């Protein structure tokens, strides 16, 4: 499998694009023609060959460009990556699980040699070669969590378990849907989810927390979440809201197909061995409506989901102001035919 | 519920008249999952007709993937799990062991850790000490035992000025007031041992103004034996017999009823089960349900609790 | 006027349970403006709280100084401002032993700042007692420039650091001791809703 990496941008001229292969393998988040929150958890990894569920940490054609975009965001705002002092061990746990997984799952891209605590890591796509001593932070250019997440797609939160709760005490957050790591770091599960409408009353968070606390080593899981973004922009942080916010108002019936993007989150959950913490990667997949509608089932389904969604959720998911234009555009792809259950596009 | 591994016993070493150390390794000598200080494993013991599962703290180095070690104190008045370990398990025995779970972890934010152990309660601190050494964090350990002969942990503790043995036979009792006074801000206290010790530490800490957030404890509870009883499962109408030396959880498992569990000692809440109907008295032996919940008799913790009376119907 | 009652809000909005005396344990008491009344009420319930207490008061124009001074705390310190008081507060917290009680009373700005400091030094949250009295002005952090504007009483308001117009959220960070404020006209620059007074 030779993976071709795109040369594209997620800001400015927004040259980001999806090849046909990338579109077909999108983890489309809707398994039915309507949407409401759920604790929709499955074992991970586990999925068809070539799908984003096959390997533990999916690497795709956007890898190199995404990491470049992350580096720009971090230069502009170093506070997007923080680790409270007691989370260093969890950072090492995360580094280990990512390096071991990627070296096993993508041997032509990554190599890891370990001689006791003397490790040797090679990242071919990014041109990185690093020898270091595991557990000794002075042998890496930065903390272990920052080091490895600068080379891994998606955002990461490391959750410390204590007092029957989970606390977001470290994170690398450069592709988030409008929440601030600097503000939320140190909060517990219910506090950082406080701004999500309706979910608390539905008991979604109680169930989710109970599940996560029961997680053990060796059992990892995933779920899908989603929002909507105008332009293929990864940095939709509250910090920069006054910069990307105006772009939300530039949608027209002519450009909505190419400008309006579905932002899919493939979240996974891992119990870490030395720190007993939980790793929470949030991997982001962006696709414009036009791309999604190349798959007939997805076009029909997306139209129905966004047309019928609870208005509070439309607001929270970031597209209420453009909902009418979006739904009108999508209606051309919906002939009313039935759709098959499940997320996969029809053959 | 946990993944199980089949491991081989490679060492059995009596530490004292009552306490024996066991070492487990993979038969093919492959590495075991590493763990964090304070973790425990659940050991399966096929004892005739009864399949017992007991939780034991890991006393070995969390970062040493070559083997797991536990220390078991023989309790003759118990259900029989510890007796089984002492009489039936020898080097070469193969046993099913769960992946480690940690319900008694160190708080890594602490500026200092005060560890208080009584009797066999020393075991989780043995792996904690390794973790503290790795992280180079300040601590002091107080180990209370009746006599030097009974203090199984002494053989396993490193020599350190920060480790204090309080042997009551030698007139050297632990002074909780002294231990809990003058500790710097950010100190956390951890206690493990008999119920009496745990209550004494928590009471003393409260009297000295310690906030609950800085206090951690692990009680070693194993299900007490009792009179046999029967429960009915609401959905199927099946009747399950619980024998004298079997816990309700073990009886349900033997009947292939799926119940989620973790600590098996009444502390973690995982096996909480709804009671559909109760005509009699539930003997709540857990630490999980509140006083009101116990009185209501609408919930039961099958790992530890028993029942006397005419009928107990579980919402299963 | 007792502990302010705030209307139910999102999970991250702090609530203040009110001060409960913990006997003569060593303690650090910090109050600003009308928070002094909460301290006086506390002492009324159990004067023993003063035995080993350091009491720090920032008047902010209120007139309770002499009453507090007369209480006979082990140490009484009247400070011109919270900033000025921080040197002493830092010292007292850093050298405190476990078992020391922390009583905070007055504005959310002061309580947010001091509780954030105490948490960072390792004091668990349940060792910090808080009671709200007086102005409901909030400490608001601008998510864009990270500057904090104190005693905010209107929604929206202008960031005192970068000048953006911000709306007030109930989302609160205990680590920072502040509420979050976000640009109100990001999507439609210049279109600003009517200013309203914040209520409890």
Set of chain C residues whose Cβ sits within 8 Å of the Cβ of A194:
10-13, 170-171
Domains of chain C from N-terminus onward = 27-132 (3.40.50.80), 138-197 (no CATH)
CA distance A73 to A32: 36
Touching A (3+ Cβ pairs <8 A), the chains are B, C
Contact at CB, B36 and A273, closer than 8 angstroms = yes
Considering only CB atoms, C25 lies closest to which of B111, B187, B209, namely: B209
What pLDDT score does B207 carry? 94
Number of other CB atoms surrounding residue B154 within 10 Å: 17
Total number of domains constituting chain A: 1
Please name the residue of chain A whose CA is at the shortest distance from the CA of residue B33: A273
What pLDDT score does B265 carry? 87
Contact at CB, B211 and C25, closer than 8 angstroms = no
| Contact predicate B286/B247, CB 8 Å | no
Contact at CB, A216 and B63, closer than 8 angstroms = no
SS3 B262: coil
Of the candidates A273, A220, A255, A232, the residue with the CA atom closest to the CA atom of residue A96: A273
Identify whether A338 is part of a domain: no
CA distance B125 to B143: 10
Domain span holding position A163: 20-83+155-331
Considering only CB atoms, A241 lies closest to which of C11, C141, C182, namely: C182
CA torsion through residues A209, B134, B42, B306, sign? negative
What pLDDT score does C1 carry? 59
Best A210, A273, A275 residue to mutate vs chain B (most B CBs within 10 Å): A273
What pLDDT score does B1 carry? 55
Distance of CA B270 to the CA centre of its chain: 15
A-C C-beta contacts closer than 8 Å: 63
Considering only CB atoms, C97 lies closest to which of B109, B182, B213, namely: B182
CA distance C118 to C124: 8
Annotated catalytic, A223? yes
Touching C (3+ Cβ pairs <8 A), the chains are A, B
Beta bridge partners of residue A114, listed in sequence order = A119
Report the complex ipTM: 0.92
Which helix (DSSP H) or strand (DSSP E) does residue B177 occupy? helix B176-180
* A88-105: burial string, b at 16+ Cβ within 10 Å, e else: bbbbbbbbbbbbebbbeb
Of the candidates A143, A137, A139, the residue with the CA atom closest to the CA atom of residue A156: A143
CA torsion through residues A60, A63, A65, A66, sign? positive
Considering only CB atoms, A200 lies closest to which of C11, C173, C175, namely: C11
**How many Å lie between the alpha carbon of A96 and the closest alpha carbon of chain B?**
12
Contact at CB, C101 and B109, closer than 8 angstroms = no
Q: Tokens 């999500």 label which residue?
A: A196
Return all residues near C173 (Cβ < 8 A) that are at least 6 apart.
A183, A184, A186, A187, C12, C141, C180
SS3 B298: coil
Contact at CB, C126 and B211, closer than 8 angstroms = yes
Beta bridge partners of residue B280, listed in sequence order = B309
Phi-psi region at C11: left, alpha or beta (left = phi > 0; alpha = psi -120 to 50): alpha
**How many Å lie between the alpha carbon of C131 and the closest alpha carbon of chain A?**
21
Say whether domain B229-314 belongs to CATH 3.10.20.30: yes
CA end-to-end distance (rounded Å), chain B: 17
C48 touches chain B (CB under 8 A): no
Radius of gyration for chain C, computed over Cα atoms and rounded to the nearest angstrom: 18
Please name the residue of chain C whose CA is at the shortest distance from the CA of residue B204: C99
CA distance A200 to A219: 26
**How many Å lie between the alpha carbon of A275 and the closest alpha carbon of chain B?**
6
User: Rounded to 5 degrees, what are φ and ψ at B87?
Assistant: -100, -30
Best A91, A217, A275 residue to mutate vs chain B (most B CBs within 10 Å): A217
Set of chain C residues whose Cβ sits within 8 Å of the Cβ of A312:
none
What pLDDT score does C145 carry? 96
Return all residues near A311 (Cβ < 8 A) that are at least 6 apart.
A320
Instruction: In chain B, list all ranges with CATH 3.40.50.80.
Output: 112-219
User: Rounded to 5 degrees, what are φ and ψ at B278?
Assistant: -140, 115
DSSP state of C178: E
Residues in chain A with pLDDT values less than 50: none
Set of chain A residues whose Cβ sits within 8 Å of the Cβ of B260:
214
Best B106, B109, B180, B186 residue to mutate vs chain C (most C CBs within 10 Å): B186
| Contact predicate B289/B301, CB 8 Å | yes
Q: Which CATH number fits domain B4-98: 2.30.300.10, 2.40.30.10, 3.90.226.10, 1.25.40.10?
A: 2.40.30.10
CA torsion through residues A215, A217, A222, A227, sign? positive
What pLDDT score does A347 carry? 64
CA C122 vs CA A7, A85, B76, C143: distances in Å: 47, 12, 43, 26
Identify whether A186 is part of a domain: yes
Q: Which two tokens stand for residue C68?
A: 């507090």
CA B29 vs CA B9, B25, B26, B65, C200: distances in Å: 12, 6, 5, 10, 64
| Contact predicate C169/C193, CB 8 Å | no
CA distance B282 to B300: 8
Instruction: In chain B, list all ranges with CATH 2.40.30.10.
Output: 4-98
Set of chain B residues whose Cβ sits within 8 Å of the Cβ of C122:
109-111, 185-187
**HSE (side-chain half, CA atoms, 13 Å) at C2:** 6
**How many Å lie between the alpha carbon of C90 and the closest alpha carbon of chain A?**
20
CA distance C99 to B184: 9
Best B3, B31, B32, B36 residue to mutate vs chain A (most A CBs within 10 Å): B36
Contact at CB, C12 and A192, closer than 8 angstroms = yes
Tens-of-pLDDT digits for all 316 residues of chain B? 567 899 999 999 999 999 999 999 999 999 999 999 999 999 999 988 888 889 999 999 999 999 999 999 998 887 788 999 999 999 999 999 999 999 999 999 999 999 999 999 999 999 999 999 988 999 999 999 999 888 988 889 988 999 999 999 998 889 999 999 999 999 999 999 999 999 999 999 999 999 999 999 999 888 888 999 999 999 999 999 999 988 999 999 999 998 989 888 888 888 999 999 999 999 999 888 888 999 999 999 999 999 999 999 999 9
Q: Residue ranges of the alpha helices (H) in A214-320?
A: 241-244, 256-259, 289-292, 296-308, 311-316
What pLDDT score does B45 carry? 93
B-C C-beta contacts closer than 8 Å: 54
Considering only CB atoms, B213 lies closest to which of A86, A163, A275, namely: A163
Q: Global pTM?
A: 0.93
Q: Residue ranges of the alpha helices (H) in chain A?
A: 20-24, 63-76, 88-105, 144-149, 181-184, 189-192, 204-213, 241-244, 256-259, 289-292, 296-308, 311-316, 323-331
Residues in chain C with pLDDT values less than 70: 1
Which one of A25, A124, A131, A223 is the catalytic residue? A223
Q: Tokens 């349940």 label which residue?
A: C126
CA distance C109 to C14: 12
Please name the residue of chain C whose CA is at the shortest distance from the CA of residue A321: C187
Identify how many contiguous H helices and E strands chain B contains and give both numbers.
6, 16
Q: Which two tokens stand for residue B178?
A: 């002294």
| Contact predicate A262/A287, CB 8 Å | yes
Contact at CB, B270 and A163, closer than 8 angstroms = no
CA distance A45 to A221: 7
What pLDDT score does B92 carry? 96
Length of chain C: 200
Set of chain B residues whose Cβ sits within 8 Å of the Cβ of C119:
none
Phi-psi region at A257: left, alpha or beta (left = phi > 0; alpha = psi -120 to 50): alpha
Contact at CB, C122 and B185, closer than 8 angstroms = yes
Contact at CB, C180 and A183, closer than 8 angstroms = yes
Please name the residue of chain A whose CA is at the shortest distance from the CA of residue B260: A214
DSSP state of A87: G
Return all residues near C191 (Cβ < 8 A) that are at least 6 apart.
C185
Contact at CB, A218 and B135, closer than 8 angstroms = no
CA distance A35 to A47: 23
B112-219: which CATH architecture? 3-Layer(aba) Sandwich (3.40)
The DSSP result for C62-109, as a single string, is -S-HHHHHHT--SEEEE-S-HHHHHHHHHHHHHTPBTT-EEEEEE-HH
Residue A39: exposure state from Cβ atoms within 10 A (0-12, 13-18, ≥19): middle
Contact at CB, C11 and A185, closer than 8 angstroms = no
SS3 A222: strand
C22 touches chain B (CB under 8 A): yes
Contact at CB, A274 and B63, closer than 8 angstroms = yes
CA torsion through residues C74, C78, C84, C86, sign? positive
Contact at CB, C183 and A239, closer than 8 angstroms = no
Return all residues near A197 (Cβ < 8 A) that are at least 6 apart.
A312, A313, A315, A316
Contact at CB, A89 and B101, closer than 8 angstroms = no
Of the candidates B43, B37, B186, the residue with the CA atom closest to the CA atom of residue B104: B37
| Contact predicate A112/A120, CB 8 Å | yes
Set of chain C residues whose Cβ sits within 8 Å of the Cβ of B140:
none
The DSSP result for A95-138, as a single string, is HHHHHHHHHHH-TTTEEEEEETTEEEEEETTTTEEEEEETT-GG
Of the candidates B222, B198, B217, B202, the residue with the CA atom closest to the CA atom of residue B85: B222
DSSP state of A3: P
Distance of CA B194 to the CA centre of its chain: 11
Please name the residue of chain B whose CA is at the shortest distance from the CA of residue C127: B211
Which helix (DSSP H) or strand (DSSP E) does residue B22 occupy? strand B19-25
Set of chain A residues whose Cβ sits within 8 Å of the Cβ of B100:
217
């Amino acid at each position: 499998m030779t993976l071709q990496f795109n040369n594209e941008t997620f800001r400015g001229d927004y040259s980001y694009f999806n090849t046909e292969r990338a579109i077909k393998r999108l983890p489309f988040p809707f398994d039915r023609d309507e949407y409401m929150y759920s604790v929709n958890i499955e074992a991970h990894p586990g999925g068809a060959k070539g799908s984003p569920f096959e390997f533990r940490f999916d690497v795709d054609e956007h890898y190199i460009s995404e990491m470049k975009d992350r580096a720009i965001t971090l230069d502009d705002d170093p506070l997007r990556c923080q680790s409270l002092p007691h989370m260093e061990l969890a950072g090492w746990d995360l580094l280990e699980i990512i390096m071991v997984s990627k070296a096993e799952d993508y041997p032509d891209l990554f190599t890891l040699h370990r001689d006791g605590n003397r490790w040797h890591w090679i990242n071919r796509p990014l041109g990185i070669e690093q020898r270091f001593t595991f557990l000794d932070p002075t042998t890496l250019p930065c903390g272990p969590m920052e080091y490895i997440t600068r080379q891994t797609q998606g955002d990461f939160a490391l959750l410390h378990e204590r007092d029957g709760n989970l606390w977001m005490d470290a994170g690398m957050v450069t592709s988030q849907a409008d929440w601030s790591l600097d503000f939320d770091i140190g909060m517990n599960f219910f506090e950082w989810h406080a701004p999500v409408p309706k979910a608390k009353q539905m008991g979604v968070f109680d169930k989710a927390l109970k599940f996560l606390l029961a997680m053990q080593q060796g059992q990892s899981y995933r779920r899908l979440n989603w929002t909507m973004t105008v332009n293929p922009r990864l940095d939709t942080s509250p910090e920069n809201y006054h910069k990307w916010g105006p772009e939300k108002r530039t949608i027209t019936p002519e450009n909505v197909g190419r400008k309006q993007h579905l932002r899919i989150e493939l979240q996974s959950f891992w119990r870490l061995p030395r720190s007993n913490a939980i790793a929470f990667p949030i991997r982001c997949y962006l696709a414009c409506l036009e791309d999604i509608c190349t798959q007939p089932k997805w076009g029909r389904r997306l139209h129905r989901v966004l047309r019928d969604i609870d208005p509070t959720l439309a607001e929270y998911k970031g597209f209420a102001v453009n909902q009418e234009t979006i739904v009108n555009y999508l209606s051309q792809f919906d002939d009313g035919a039935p759709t098959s259950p499940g997320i996969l596009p029809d053959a | 519920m946990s993944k199980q591994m089949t491991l081989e016993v490679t060492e059995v070493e009596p530490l004292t008249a009552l306490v024996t150390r066991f070492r487990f390794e993979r038969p093919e000598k492959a590495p075991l999952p590493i763990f964090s200080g304070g973790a425990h494993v659940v050991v399966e013991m096929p004892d005739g007709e009864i399949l017992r599962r007991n939780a034991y703290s890991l006393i070995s180095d969390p970062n040493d993937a070559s083997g797991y070690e536990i220390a078991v104190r023989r309790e003759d008045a118990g259900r029989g799990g510890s007796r089984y370990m002492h009489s039936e398990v020898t080097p070469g025995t193969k046993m099913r062991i769960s992946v480690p779970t940690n319900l008694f972890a160190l708080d890594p934010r602490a500026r200092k850790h005060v560890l208080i152990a009584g009797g066999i309660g020393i075991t989780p601190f043995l792996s904690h000490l390794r973790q503290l050494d790795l992280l180079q964090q300040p601590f002091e350990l107080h180990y209370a035992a009746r006599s030097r002969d009974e203090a199984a942990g002494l053989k396993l503790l490193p020599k350190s000025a920060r480790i204090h043995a309080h042997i009551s036979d030698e007139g050297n009792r632990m002074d909780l007031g002294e231990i809990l006074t003058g500790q710097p801000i950010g100190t956390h206290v951890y206690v493990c041992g008999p119920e009496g010790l745990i209550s004494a530490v928590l009471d003393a800490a409260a009297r000295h103004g310690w906030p609950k957030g800085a206090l951690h404890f692990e009680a070693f509870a194993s299900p007490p034996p009792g009179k046999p009883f029967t429960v009915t499962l609401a959905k199927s109408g099946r009747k399950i017999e619980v024998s004298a030396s079997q816990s309700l959880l073990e009886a349900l498992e033997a009947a292939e009823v799926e119940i989620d569990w973790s600590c098996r000692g009444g502390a973690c809440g995982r096996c909480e089960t709804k009671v559909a109907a109760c005509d009699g008295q539930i003997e709540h032996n857990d630490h999980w349900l509140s006083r009101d919940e116990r009185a209501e008799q609408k919930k039961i913790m099958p790992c530890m609790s028993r029942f006397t009376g005419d009928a107990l119907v579980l919402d299963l | 006027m007792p502990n302010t009652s705030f209307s139910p809000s999102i999970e991250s909005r702090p609530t203040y349970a009110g001060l409960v005396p913990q006997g003569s344990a060593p303690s650090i008491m910090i109050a600003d403006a009308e928070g002094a009344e909460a301290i006086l009420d506390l002492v009324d319930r159990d004067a023993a709280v003063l035995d080993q207490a350091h009491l720090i008061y920032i008047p902010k124009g209120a007139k309770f100084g002499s009453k507090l001074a007369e209480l006979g705390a082990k140490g009484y310190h009247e400070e011109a401002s919270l900033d000025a008081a921080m040197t002493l507060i830092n010292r007292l917290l850093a050298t405190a032993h476990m078992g020391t009680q922390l009583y905070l009373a007055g504005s959310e700005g002061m309580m947010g700042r001091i509780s954030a400091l105490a948490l960072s030094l390792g004091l668990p949250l349940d060792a910090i007692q808080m009671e709200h009295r007086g102005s409901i002005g909030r400490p608001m952090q601008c998510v864009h420039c990270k500057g904090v504007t104190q005693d905010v009483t209107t929604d929206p308001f202008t960031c005192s650091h970068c000048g953006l117009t911000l709306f007030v959220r109930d989302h609160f960070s205990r680590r920072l001791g502040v509420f979050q404020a976000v640009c109100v006209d990001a999507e439609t620059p210049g279109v600003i809703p009517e200013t309203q007074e914040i209520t409890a």
